[in-house]
A and B are shown apart, each in its own frame.
Chain A
C-alpha cells in the first residue's frame, strides 16, 4: 500500500492570479508552493501581456529566441508552480468566463489601478457578487483611498518615496577625506518594495483564510505599497515623532557598534563586512588580525572613541582584508566569534556551501519547447517540519492550461472554446511578438549593468571560493 501524498496547507484552495510584474505574481508563486492551485490569467496579446514575459529577461545564454516570452529567468522565478489560462479582457465573452472562474475560486490577486478594475467590472464589489466569501488582494502604489489613490507606481521609484533613502546613504567626505553622516539618499534597489508587498499580501491572504474558515466571511485587502513600505521603516518614522529626527545616513557604520563596515578583499569588486559589537569582540578582533596593540590604543578604547576614529581604523582594517578573500575574512573572524561575512554576488550564492547544504535552490524541469532544460531557482526563507513545501512545477507557458481551465474546470463546450479562439479572446502564441534585441554581455559590462561574466558558466561546478 502506498502512503497518500501528505497534504499541504493550501490543498484545495484555488487562486485566480490577475496580477502582473513582481509583487503579486511572486505572492501567487508562494501560495502555489504551499499547495494552492494558482491560475495565472494571461493574455496572448503583446500590448497587454505581463511585461515580465517580454521585457525582463535574462534569457538563456543571452538569446531571447523565438519563444522568448516563455524563456525569461525573472518571469520563471516569479511564476513557478502556476498554471496559465489566456483571456483577453477586452472581450465580453472572456470577461464572463473570468467571472465564472472567480465563482469557483477562493482568492483573487490583482494589481491594476483602481480605475481599470472598475472599468472591467472586476472590482471587489462586483466580484463578491459572484463569489460572496471571496478573498481579494488589490495591490496598488498608493491604495484605493487618499489623495494619491490614482497615482501609478513602480517599486524602483516608490522605494525612496516611502523613506528608505532617509536611512541609507554613503557618508559625506570633506577635502581631507574626513567623513560625516551622509546628506545624499541611496536605495536598496532590486525592486525592494515589491517584495515587502509580496510578503504582506501572503500574510494577509493566509490570515483571511483563517478568518473565512471561522466566520465564513471573505475579505478585501487594500494593499498600498507606499504604506507597506513605510510600515517597514516604522521605527525611523517614530523617531521623528519623538525626537524630530528626519534622517540617519551612516554609510556602513553603526551608532553603537564600531568598527562596523564593508571592506575590500582580494579580487575585482570583492567585499566582506565586519561588525564588532562590543569590547570583547574588539579584543578578539585585534588578536586574530595580528595587531593586539590596537586593543590598547586609546583612540580605540571603547565603542564611542572607535566610532569617532573609525576613518583611521577603516584604513587599518582594509589593509588586513585586502590581501585576503572575502570567505577567508569570514572564516578567520567567525572562528574568533566576531560577526563577519562575505558580500555575495549571484554566482557566489549559487555556489555557497550554506545555501547548498540547506537545499535553498530547487531544480525545475522545463517544457522541452522552451529550451530551458533543467535549472535551479531560489526559493523561500523557511521550512515547515510537517510539509514538503517546494516548487512543484515550472512557470506555465502562455495558455498552456486553457483546455484544463475552460473545459475541465468550467465545463465550457468545445464550440464555445473554439469561438473564444477564433475571436482571439484566447490563444497560445503571443500576437504581435517581436524578438527583443539582446545587449551583448561585453556591452553590458561597458554600461555597468553587468560586473563580469563567465562564458563557460553552464559547465562550471558551483563555486565556493
Chain B
C-alpha cells in the first residue's frame, strides 16, 4: 500500500463478518483498520439492522445514511447473502475456503446451523470463529434478550454510573457493544498470532456483560475484600474530580497529579482556598462543603477551554465537558490527524473520526490509518466477490438472485 512500505499488520488476513448493529461490525472494522480484507455479509433486502438505526445523515432515514452504520463499516467490502438458504450456505462454504476469521453476533438460539463453531472448526481447522453475544455461548442467561441498557445493567457498570441520589444512568452511545467489539478483536488477534505457529484456528466466545464487568477493578474487591458495596458518585463532597459548572459549561477540577495544593488553589483563583486545612485529602473530606462553595465561586470566573489550558500548563490534570462539536473542531485532534475525509455516494462527504492509537515502525515510518473504502452500499461488491473472486458465472448469479440467496 502507498505510504506503508512494510504493509499493515493484518495485510493478507481475510475476514468474513456476519454482524449486525455494533459489536461484530466494530470488531471487524478494527481488524480492517489494521489491514485485514473484511467482507461484510448482510441479509438481502433489509441489510444490517444498523441501517435502520439513527441518527441519519441529514436526518433522512435512508438505509445508506445511518450514521452508526457509516462509522462502523468503513474499510470493508459488502455483499448480500442469505446463509439460511441451501444455496446461500453453499456460497458461504466457498467463501470460507479462503477465510481466516469469521466474526458473527447472532443470538445463540437464532444462529443458522451453517455457522455452528464446532462444525466449522472441523471443516476448516485453520478458521478462527469469533462469536459476540450479550451473555456468551453458555450460562443461564445465554438466550435472554438484551439491548445496551440491559448488558450495561447486568455488567455492574451501570450501578456505578450517575449520581447516588438518582437512579443508575445508562452510558453513552452503546458503549457496551463497542467494548465487546474491541475485546473480541483482542482475543481474535491472539488467536491469529498463535495460528502463525500452530496452523490451527479456534472458537472465541465473547460475552458483552463480562467485557464490561472487567472494568470494575474497584467495586468488585470492595466487596470481596471488605464486604462493602461501592455506589455511584456521592452528591456531597468538595467537588474535586466531579463535573462542576464553569462560566460556559462544565469542568472537572482535579487534585490528582503531582502538584501541591497551593498550585490547585492558585489556579482556581479564590484566595480563601489557600488554606492549610484543605491541603490534605482528609482535610478536603472534612471541609468538603466549604471547599465546594469556594470552588463554585472560582470556577464561575473561568471558561472551560481556558481553564483546561491553564491547568495543563501548570501540570495539573483538570478536565472539561466537551460536546461533539468541540471534539470535531479540536485543534489537538486535528494536529494528530485523527479525522479522515470520506466521500460516500449517497450520504455525501464528511470528516470521520479515525483510530485511537498512532503506530510507527523503527525507522519512524508511520503505519498510517487510512480509510480505503467508505461503508459499503447494500450488496455493492456482489459482482466483484461472487463473479471475479469466486468465479460464479453470471447465469449462476442471476439464479441465486432469483432464489433470494443474494
Contacts and interface: CB of A to CB of B under 8 A. Distances in A.
Given A220-B359, A383-B205, A344 B159 contact: yes
Given A277-B147, A343-B159, A222 B229 contact: no
A188 B175 contact: yes
Interface stretch (B49-57, B75-83, B84-92, B264-272): B49-57
A447 B154 contact: no
Question: How many B residues touch the partner, as a band?
Answer: 35 or more
Contacts of A165: 172, 243, 250, 321-323
Nearest to A157: B319
Interface in A232-270: 232-247, 251-252, 254-257, 260, 262-264, 269
A398 B9 CA distance: 36
A214 B203 CA distance: 23
B213 A381 contact: yes
A81 to B, nearest CB: 14
Nearest to B308: A161
B331 to A, nearest CB: 6
Contacts of B160: 189-190, 345
A242 to B, nearest CB: 4
Interface string A128-159: 10001110000001110111101111101111
B225 A375 contact: yes
Interface string B108-140: 000000000100010000000000000110111
Interface string B298-314: 00000000001001100
B3 interface: no
A157 B318 contact: yes
Given A262-B170, A334-B144, A353-B140, A375 B59 contact: no
Contacts of B155: 344
Among the interface residues B159, B186, B196, which one has the most CB atoms of the partner chain A within 10 A? Answer: B186
B221 interface: yes
Interface in B330-357: 331-333, 335-336, 338, 347-348, 350-357
A221 B204 contact: no
Interface stretch (A88-96, A295-303, A384-392, A404-412): A384-392
A381 B328 contact: no
A310 B355 CA distance: 38
B221 A168 contact: no
Contact of A358 (B70, B138, B198, B347): B138
A120 interface: no
A458 interface: yes
Given A143-B358, A185-B321, A203-B30, A245 B55 contact: yes
B161 A187 contact: yes
A188 B212 contact: no
Contacts, number: 554
A188 B216 CA distance: 12
A73 to B, nearest CB: 3
A353 B140 CA distance: 7
A177 interface: no
Contacts of B167: 252, 262-264, 271
A212 to B, nearest CB: 9
Contact of A186 (B34, B154, B161, B179): B161
Nearest to A30: B186
Most buried by B among A56, A74, A207: A207
A229 B225 CA distance: 31
Interface in B13-31: 30
A60 interface: yes
B278 interface: no
Interface in A426-456: 437, 441, 444, 447-456
Contacts of B187: 382, 384
Given A165-B250, A219-B367, A441-B228, A448 B235 contact: yes
Interface in A321-346: 330, 334, 337-346
A83 B221 CA distance: 21
Contacts of B254: 154, 156-157
Interface stretch (A37-45, A97-105, A192-200, A417-425): A192-200
Contact of A235 (B71, B179, B207): B71
A448 B234 contact: yes
A190 B353 contact: no
B361 A219 contact: yes
A18 interface: no
A69 interface: no
Interface in A210-233: 210-211, 213-215, 217-224, 226-233
B332 A157 contact: no
B159 to A, nearest CB: 5
| Most chain A CB atoms below 10 A, which of B200, B325, B356 | B356
A447 B167 CA distance: 18
A210 B193 contact: yes
Nearest to B221: A73
B105 interface: no
Given A233-B353, A381-B206, 11 more contacts: A58-B218, A77-B221, A154-B254, A170-B169, A199-B179, A200-B356, A236-B324, A255-B54, A346-B219, A378-B214, A448-B235
| Closest 3 A/B residue pairs (Cβ) | A73-B221, A457-B227, A381-B211
17 contacts: A146-B336, A151-B311, A162-B327, A185-B321, A189-B232, A190-B218, A203-B182, A207-B10, A237-B353, A239-B67, A240-B327, A353-B139, A381-B210, A384-B190, A385-B117, A385-B203, A450-B228
